[in-house]
């Protein structure tokens, strides 16, 4: 079994501009996707022998992303930019990571705590969601004494709102528990900063030299129409998606809770689909009302992932597109029906500005109305702590996350900008770097702005199709157990081999880490011998061999960022103008021949 050694991260090359595979560029934390795909492809097919390699890959992923077991179930954002997407289907990176996580989750519990020396300043983190935990993880490894102030009785924030049929509770719980254990983070539960005596100023007075606010968005956004709040949201039977998922995750809502009831869900995002599919599993006759349209190519398309839409459709959920809600009608104290005018457009040149045809109104009857149109921060607490400007806006430097009013406060996660889980994780890492610089009295901005450029897909005669992802049939998955089957070892190896390793070798180094290569070799061109025929250009699958004018003649050159050192251009060159530099292959061949001759 090979053993991988650390040779540095892909994302830390000391350059203003980095060339990376597009999946890694899309990932907010720039996870080393290509490298770990290669390592998975090199696993032996014997399960027992492969376990050692899986644990090594898990250790490597964990150092930069302690949430990777959770990401393997719920985050596939990198797949959206995979070069293979238009050829045979994006590489199933999420399932590859889940494959590693399903073994590593047990190894993680056996890991010893990091041997950290906590000899630096005290730092307070408000909120124990992905942003706060990532910040705590990073700062703790740097030697800072970190305390998380969590308003609820458990860490994880909105991750607990993800239905169990998508994210098993044991995976989430183990990830959270081991994160704080391994780096020794102190956690104070049921402590809401901004309420009563607990203010950011008190934290400052208690000896915390910097504060990272990442308390999320606990306030549900109310339903509005025409710039005014829709009346009737206080009727019995009306609830909000965030509250509903919270109650389900805590076990407050029992099985078959909605049996015999018509459930209307307002919203078109992933959370709205989570709400609808959860209501369906609670035996409700569920209908969704989406402001956005069904056309996936339109700017006004429904924002939810296609997998969510497909799942809802298969599970018998009725989806009504291009409809808003102008009225909630009740009988007595109870919601009875809603009026839904047709939405003609959602966005215009100014942004979100829905337009409706009030002559076309659809009336829907229901017993339960669940409004899921977004969340917002606790403005009152932010205002109390003096973190808003004169217009009531939260002003944060987007590069450093430093608050404009109080330089020792940094703000990130959903409270700053609603996004994916991994966006909040990125904010946590950004805040950790800013806090470390602030406490060391270093520039918060120097060297932080970096450009990434994606590599194109390598040329191939044939591209392989993506594997089928198997779901339990709809009629058998009306429960909260996982409905998606993960990869077996052979399937994971085959899918990892499908990766075309689009990024440059310098951003991967997988071959070096397992000892296949001692160093990255390159290709050198002798311009005096080169005849400029261009054969090397036509042979190169990666676009690394290029033609250029040099001293009044046409010669070939090598783009070192695109070159994979495969040697094909060297073999193809009729002038023998190209040669490998730093390649030990000839020496290794001689060694093999010498051994065979003995």
**Which of 343, 375, 407 finishes a domain?**
375
Does residue 528 share a domain with residue 487?
no
* H-helix or E-strand spanning residue 587: helix 585-597
Q: Among the residues of 159-257, which ranges form H helices?
A: 169-183, 200-205, 241-249
Length of the chain: 598
Could you tell me if 139 and 65 lie in one domain?
A: no
374 within 8 A of 290, measured Cβ to Cβ: no
Residues 357 and 400 in one domain: no
Q: What is the dihedral of CA 430, 433, 435, 438, to 10 degrees?
A: -120
* 83 and 199 both lie in a single domain: no
Quote the pTM value.
Answer: 0.91
CB 61 within 8 A of CB 31: yes
CA distance 5 to 115: 19
Same domain for 206 and 194? yes
> What tokens does 420 get?
């994916």
Q: Look at residues 485, 466, 455 and name the one whose alpha carbon lies nearest to residue 33.
A: 455
Closest-CA residue to 137 (of 190, 175, 105): 175
* 232 and 367 together in one domain: yes
* Residues ≥6 apart with Cβ < 8 Å to 273: 288, 304, 308, 309, 311, 312
Whichever domain contains 478, its CATH number is 1.10.1060
- Domain shared by 54 and 34, yes or no: yes
Start-to-end C-alpha separation, the chain: 27
Total tally of structural domains belonging to the chain: 4
Q: Does 310 share its domain with 262?
A: yes
Q: What is the pLDDT of residue 6?
A: 60
Calpha distance 185→187 (Å, rounded): 6
Task: Report yes or no: 305 and 268 within 8 Å, Cβ to Cβ.
Answer: no
Residues with Cβ within 8 Å of 567's Cβ and at least 6 positions away in sequence, in order, are 523, 580, 583, 585
Residue 586's domain is classified under what CATH number? 3.30.70.20
Pairing state of beta strands 122-126 and 210-213? parallel
Q: Which of 439, 463, 492 is the last residue of a domain?
A: 439
Place of tokens 């599970």: 315
pLDDT at res. 12:
43
- Identify the DSSP state of 589: H
Beta carbons within 10 angstroms of residue 518's beta carbon: 12
DSSP state, residue 413: G
Q: How many other C-beta atoms lie within 10 A of the C-beta of residue 90? A: 19
Q: Residue 9's pLDDT is what? A: 47
Q: How far apart are CA 70 and CA 167, in angstroms?
A: 7
CATH number of 382's domain: 3.50.50.60
Report yes or no on 516 lying in a domain: no
Query: Could you give the CA distance from residue 177 to residue 162 in angstroms, rounded to a whole number?
Result: 18
Nearest to 374 by CA among 418, 310, 326, 426: 418
In a domain, 260, yes or no: yes
User: How far is residue 464 CA from its own chain's centroid?
Assistant: 25
| Predicted pLDDT of residue 506 | 81
Run means of pLDDT, 10 residues per run, the chain, 598 residues: 60 60 94 95 94 95 96 95 91 97 93 94 97 98 97 95 96 97 97 87 95 92 94 96 95 95 97 98 97 94 95 97 96 94 95 95 97 89 81 89 94 93 97 97 90 86 90 94 96 96 86 83 89 92 89 87 88 92 76 80
CA distance linking residue 209 with residue 563, whole number of Å = 47
Residue 38 and residue 137 in one domain:
no
Cα 265 to Cα 273: distance, rounded to the nearest angstrom: 8
Question: Do 362 and 246 reside in the same domain of the chain?
Answer: yes
Give whole-number Cα distances, 442 to 435, 449, 454, 536, 595, in Å.
10, 16, 31, 48, 57
- Give residue 586's pLDDT: 72
124 vs 191: CA distance, rounded Å: 12
The residue assigned the tokens 């996350």 is: 401
Residue 343's H or E segment, with its range, is strand 334-348
Beta bridge partners of 260: none
Q: Rounded to 5 degrees, what angle do the CA atoms 448, 23, 37 make?
A: 115
Q: pLDDT value at position 10? A: 43
Tokens 């979100």 belong to: 352
The β-bridge partners of 286 are 263
Q: What residues are paired with 318 via a beta bridge?
A: 287
Backbone angles phi, psi at 371, to 5 degrees: -90, 120
Examine the domain organization and report whether 254 and 359 are in the same domain.
Answer: yes
CA distance 581 to 426: 38
- Best CA proximity match to 265, nearest among 315, 332, 215: 315
CA max distance for the chain:
97
Domain of residue 367 covers 220-375
**Which of helix, strand or coil describes residue 500?**
coil
């Amino acid at each position: 079994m090979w053993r991988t050694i650390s040779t540095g991260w892909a994302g830390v090359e000391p350059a203003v501009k980095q060339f990376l595979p597009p999946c890694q560029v899309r990932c907010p934390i720039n996870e080393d996707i290509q490298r770990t795909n290669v390592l998975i492809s090199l696993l032996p097919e014997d399960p027992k022998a492969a376990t050692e390699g899986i644990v090594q890959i898990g250790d490597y992923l964990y150092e930069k992303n302690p949430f990777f077991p959770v990401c393997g179930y719920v985050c596939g954002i990198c797949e959206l930019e995979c070069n293979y997407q238009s050829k045979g289907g994006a590489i199933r990176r999420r399932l590859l990571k889940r494959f590693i996580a399903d073994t590593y989750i047990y190894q993680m519990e056996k890991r010893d705590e990091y041997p950290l020396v906590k000899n630096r300043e005290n730092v307070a983190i408000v909120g124990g969601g992905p942003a706060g935990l990532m910040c705590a993880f990073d700062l703790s490894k740097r030697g800072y004494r970190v305390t998380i102030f969590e308003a609820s009785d458990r860490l994880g924030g909105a991750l607990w709102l993800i239905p169990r049929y998508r994210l098993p509770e044991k995976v989430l719980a183990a990830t959270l528990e081991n994160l704080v254990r391994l780096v020794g983070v102190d956690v104070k539960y049921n402590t809401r900063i901004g309420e009563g005596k607990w203010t950011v100023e008190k934290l400052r007075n208690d000896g915390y030299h910097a504060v990272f606010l990442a308390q999320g968005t606990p306030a549900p956004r109310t339903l509005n129409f025409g710039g005014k709040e829709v009346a009737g949201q206080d009727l019995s039977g009306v609830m909000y998606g965030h509250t509903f998922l919270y109650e389900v995750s805590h076990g407050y809502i029992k099985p078959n809770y909605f049996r015999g009831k018509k459930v209307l869900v307002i919203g078109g995002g992933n959370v709205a689909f989570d709400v609808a599919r959860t209501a369906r599993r609670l035996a409700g006759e569920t209908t969704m009302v989406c402001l956005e349209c069904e056309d996936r190519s339109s700017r006004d398309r429904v924002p939810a992932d296609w997998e969510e839409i497909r799942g809802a459709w298969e599970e018998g959920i009725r989806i009504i597109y291009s409809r808003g809600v102008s009225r909630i009608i009740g009988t007595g104290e109870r919601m009875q029906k809603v009026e839904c005018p047709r939405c003609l457009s959602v966005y215009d040149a100014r942004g979100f500005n829905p337009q409706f045809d009030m002559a076309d109104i659809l009336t829907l009857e229901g017993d339960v109305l669940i409004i899921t149109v977004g969340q917002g921060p606790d403005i009152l607490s932010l205002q109390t702590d003096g973190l808003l400007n004169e217009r009531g806006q939260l002003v944060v430097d987007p590069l450093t996350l430093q608050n404009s009013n109080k330089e020792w406060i940094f703000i990130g996660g959903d409270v700053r900008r609603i996004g994916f889980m991994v966006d909040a994780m990125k904010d946590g890492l950004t805040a950790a770097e800013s806090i470390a610089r602030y406490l060391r009295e270093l520039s918060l901005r120097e060297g932080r702005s970096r450009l990434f450029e994606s590599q194109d897909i390598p040329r191939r005669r044939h591209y392989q199709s993506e594997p089928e992802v198997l779901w339990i049939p709809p009629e058998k998955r009306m429960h909260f157990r996982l409905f998606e089957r993960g990869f077996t070892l052979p399937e994971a190896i085959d899918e990892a081999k499908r990766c075309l390793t689009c990024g440059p070798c310098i951003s991967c180094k997988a071959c070096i880490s397992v000892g296949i290569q001692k160093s990255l070799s390159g290709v050198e061109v002798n311009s005096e011998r080169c005849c400029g025929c261009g054969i090397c250009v036509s042979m190169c699958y990666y676009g690394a061999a290029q033609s250029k004018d040099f001293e009044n003649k046409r010669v070939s050159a090598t783009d070192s960022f695109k070159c994979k050192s495969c040697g094909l251009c060297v073999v193809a060159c009729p002038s023998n103008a190209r040669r490998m530099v730093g390649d030990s292959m000839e020496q290794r061949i001689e060694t093999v021949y010498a051994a065979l001759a003995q």
